[in-house]
Structure 1
Amino acid sequence: MTAGTVSVGAAHAVRLEAVRKVYGSGATAVTALDGVSVGIRRGGFTAVMGPSGSGKSTFLHCAAGLDRPTAGRVLLGDTDLAGLSENALTELRRRRIGFVFQAYNLLPSLTVRQNITLPSRFAGTSPDERWLREVAARVGIADRLDHRPAELSGGQQQRVAIARALVTRPELLMADEPTGALDTRTGQQVLALLRDLVDTTGQTVLMVTHDPVAASYAHSVLFLADGRLAGELAAPTPALVVERLTRLGEW
């Protein structure tokens, strides 16, 4: 199967092909990604792990079109991001990618409902009320739509952020350390929610994490080391993830 064909687009939500990303130039140049080629399976939950400086965040930013590769290409479905203008990339991210970060990024003056529907308002469209209620119910905040963020727990606020990411029906949901600000029990509830969304709705999730327990909720884990792919682990458990991380220097 040739990379970039329709069949690959059908199998992968996003694909990186020989992606290289260099920051700076000359003696101060830093290579964050070095020839990474990988496809993120559509309808799966994929975690990305590696030590600090391994290229995890750059991987996520390039996959989302937030950063342009120095070389190689990124395809969202069958769309080559390299050929898009900045305005077109912004529109693509708004319509086709949902983002969840460690910080909830909720506006305190708005209600939960208003925070969730912000993407629709920015796009100049009316939110689908039926889908809004379904999403709110799925993430467990249907009875909190008229509350403000300050009236919610940290876990509930992250659920609002997940609902906001899902309200546009994105092809890909990207999560960057989504449980980093949560206690262990609440974090595991949020991770179980993400896994359930994948298993019951076919949502694709790509998550960067440093936590082996968080990674164990994924279907598979990609490992990065020094900007290169250093292996993949299917059906991860915390113990298997830790064992693989300790051997990354041998890859």
Structure 2
Amino acid sequence: MLENSPFVARLGDATKTYGRGPGAVHALQGVSVDFTAHTFTAIMGPSGSGKSTLLQVAAGLEPPSSGVVELAGRDLSGLSETALTELRREHVGFVFQSFNLMPTLTVAQNVELPLRLAGRRAGRGRVQEIVERVGLGGRIRHRPFELSGGERQRVAIARALICKPAVTFADEPTGALDTHVAAEVLALLRESVREGGQTVVMVTHDPVAAASAQRVLFLADGRLVDELVAPTAELVAETLTDLAERVRACPV
């Protein structure tokens, strides 16, 4: 439940600094952004721009150094680690480039794992339903080593969606996949938004992947510097090129 908020996640003037003194790294510098329910947002920027840090802070995996972070209608400041863990289990799904599947578990067991960790059981047929939805109905008893990279990522998406999260955070979900398989994975993420009512926030370096989203946010040096709505791959690539030139012209 989102406590009547139209936003599943939001950052208000959020900063994140690692270290102190002259060697401090300012990964986020005054970032304010809202992620509205039932939308697909991509986050892009040069290496070291703060993309993954933004994702981790928005997901409650890293606390901000200052500013406000809200997730599923809850202000994260002051929450204990136990409360944060419970909030993420209830409202957040994760998809990573490395899949993060348990090698000894079957597809069905991997998909059901978040529910079991939360002390819940999947409804009758729910695991089968969601595994079929990602196109792996015939491989439900297979283990990860018996699957291709694309199939493993499909399992990871099914696992992220099994709890019907308010938001799914995806960090380079197609980075280890070939072009054809990556397109299938992106189609699944789009479908989860369009038909499943999910919200997806995805970090990517690929303009084609970013063009699957409804909007693209661009970061540089820990700041939000641009945004595209209804992007195309060509426009995303052009914006990235312009951004790289601006960063070279005005180094920190």
Counterparts of residues 22-171 of structure 1 (less than 5 Å): 22-171=17-166
Q: Distance in 2 between matches of 1:197 and 1:124?
A: 24
Greater shift after overlay, 140-149 or 39-48?
A: 140-149
Letter in 2 for 1:221: V
> Offset of 1:131 from its aligned partner?
2.3
> Offset of 1:181 from its aligned partner?
1.0
Q: Distance in 2 between matches of 1:129 and 1:166?
A: 16
Q: What are the Cα deviations for residues 129-176 of structure 1, in whole angstroms up to 9, with x where unaligned?
A: 332222112211122111111221111111001001111110000100
Gaps in structure 2 of 5+ consecutive residues: 248-252
From 15, 18, 21, the counterpart of 1:20 = 15
From 228, 233, 237, the counterpart of 2:228 = 233
> Offset of 1:42 from its aligned partner?
0.9
Q: Distance in 1 between matches of 2:70 and 2:128?
A: 32
Q: Secondary structure, in 3 states, of the residue corresponding to 1:62?
A: helix
Q: Distance in 2 between matches of 1:241 and 1:156?
A: 28
- Cα contact 2:216–2:228 (8 A) shared by 1: yes
Q: Please, what TM-score do these two structures have when normalized by structure 1?
A: 0.94
Q: Distance in 2 between matches of 1:141 and 1:115?
A: 13
Residue 195 (str. 1) matches residue 180 (str. 2): no
From 214, 218, 222, the counterpart of 1:223 = 218
Work out the number of aligned pairs and report it.
245
Q: Please, what TM-score do these two structures have when normalized by structure 2?
A: 0.93
> Offset of 1:66 from its aligned partner?
0.4
Partner of 2:250: none
The runs of 4+ residues in structure 1 deviating greater than 3 Å are: none
Letter in 2 for 1:193: L
> Offset of 1:82 from its aligned partner?
1.0
